[in-house]
Structure 1
Amino acid sequence: MATIEMYSKTTCPYCFRANDLLRGKGVEPTIYNIDAGGPKREEMIQRSGRMTVPQIFIDGQHVGGCDDLFALERAGKLDAMLAA
């Protein structure tokens, strides 16, 4: 099973949607809460080049945000990435 990391905020509806999709596939992502900013927020920006949440990584590869994750699902590519 792949390692999933997600940078998130507690009140972000897109973060909830992404997390629900992943958990529905039997995957428990590691969640980095960046509500207060700090080093994890800076790490997210460095890794993804983006400032919005969620930012999702599968086995260290940046896949983007919620819309990007759902696009992978619609294209039939997400399951293969999660199984790697």
Structure 2
Amino acid sequence: MATIEIYTSPTCGYCHAAKRLLAQKGASYTEVDVVRDPSRRPEMMKRANGRHTVPQIFIDGRHVGGCDDLYALEEAGKLDPMLAGTAPA
């Protein structure tokens, strides 16, 4: 299985939608709440090439974007291989 990290905030509907999709896929993830730990926001922005909105999602260290990007990967049939750790880099 892939290593998944997701930067979130508790009141973000897109964060909840992204986590819901990952849960439906049976994928476990590490969640970083940038409201509870604001010192992690600059880290998120650096890793996400300046993006400052949440969620920001990383699969095996690769930035895949936000919620819409995650759902686009699902629609394109590319999410499952990424979650399985078998997608090309």
TM-score (norm 2): 0.91
Displacement of 1:36 after TM fit? 4.5
1:16-56 CA-partner distances (Å, limit 9, x unpaired)? 00000001100111000001463210100010020000000
Task: Report the Cα distance in structure 2 between the residues aligned to 1:36 and 1:82, rounded to whole angstroms.
Answer: 27
Which residues of structure 1 form unaligned runs of 5+?
Answer: none
Say if 2:29 is the partner of 1:29: yes
Which residues of structure 2 form unaligned runs of 5+?
Answer: none
The 5 A counterparts of 1:72-83 are 72-83=73-84
The 5 A counterparts of 1:54-73 are 54-73=55-74
Q: Hey, what does 1:39 align to over in structure 2?
A: 39
Question: Please, what is the CA RMSD of the aligned residues?
Answer: 0.9
Find the residue that maps to 1:28 and give its secondary structure.
coil
TM-score (norm 1): 0.96
Task: Report the Cα distance in structure 1 between the residues aligned to 2:21 and 2:43, rounded to whole angstroms.
Answer: 24
Q: Hey, what does 1:8 align to over in structure 2?
A: 8
Residue identity over aligned pairs, in percent, reads 60
